[in-house]
Amino acid sequence: MLPVKWARQDAWRAVAVCLGFDVKMGENWGGGTSRKRRGHMSDHYLEVISLIERLHRQFLGLVKLELDSLRIHDVNNVQAMLLFNMGEQEISVGELISRGYYLGSNVSYNVKKLAESGYLTYERSMHDRRSIRVRLRRQGSTLRDRLSGMLNRQIETLGQTQITDTDLESAVTTLARLERYWIRPNVSR
């Protein structure tokens, strides 16, 4: 296993290569990179990308702890968040992805597992036989309510930190701008 420092540098290097930076072997892309080489904006840009991924993993860890405390072992944290984000609406599998309710390539597998475990039901659309519509069953609604309770507890304790509503609003605004930037057609060139 790599020491944390090296793993972090390798992660930075991988992000930099994906973003099109010219990275030479032996170049330090960890926290010690000089600002002269990349500049403040690129430092912050790469840090935001890394932070988004870490925060997502940490949040899924909190969901896993909640599932464990509820003694729910037939659903993983990603599947639980899929149920939570669906809400009480009937939705197509394609909409799960396009609305950002599910991140990943194996949505069909997770929908099938959730249906087998009794958390949701799915059926082919009457209008388009290629489309599959899903909705929560009672067990799925119960789990959704429990996850909602977890989030409400977190929101209550968030008031005990130095994170303000204004901070969260600013973060949402910035991340939404970044999302709009990333979906622009000429960004990937």
- Report the distance separating Cα 82 and Cα 60, nearest Å: 11
Cα of 51 vs its chain's centroid, Å: 11
| pLDDT tens per residue across span 136-186 | 999 999 999 999 999 999 999 998 999 999 999 999 999 999 989 988 877
| pLDDT tens per residue across span 51-79 | 999 999 999 999 999 999 999 999 999 99
| pLDDT tens per residue across span 112-130 | 899 999 999 988 767 776 7
Q: What pTM was estimated for this model as a whole?
A: 0.71
What is the number of other CB atoms lying within 10 angstroms of the CB of residue 43?
15
Residue 24 carries which DSSP code? -
- Report the distance separating Cα 34 and Cα 114, nearest Å: 48
86 neighbors 134 (Cβ within 8 angstroms)? yes
Per the listing, tokens 């599910």 go with 102
134 neighbors 94 (Cβ within 8 angstroms)? no
| H-state helical runs in 19-164 | 35-69, 77-86, 93-98, 107-116, 138-158
pLDDT at 4 over 50: no
What is the number of other CB atoms lying within 10 angstroms of the CB of residue 187?
9
| pLDDT tens per residue across span 28-58 | 444 554 445 556 778 888 999 999 999 999 9
Instruction: Tell me what pLDDT residue 39 has.
Output: 66
Instruction: Tell me what pLDDT residue 57 has.
Output: 93
Residue 117 carries which DSSP code? T
What is the number of other CB atoms lying within 10 angstroms of the CB of residue 34?
9
Angle at CA of residue 17, ends 174 and 38, nearest 5°: 65
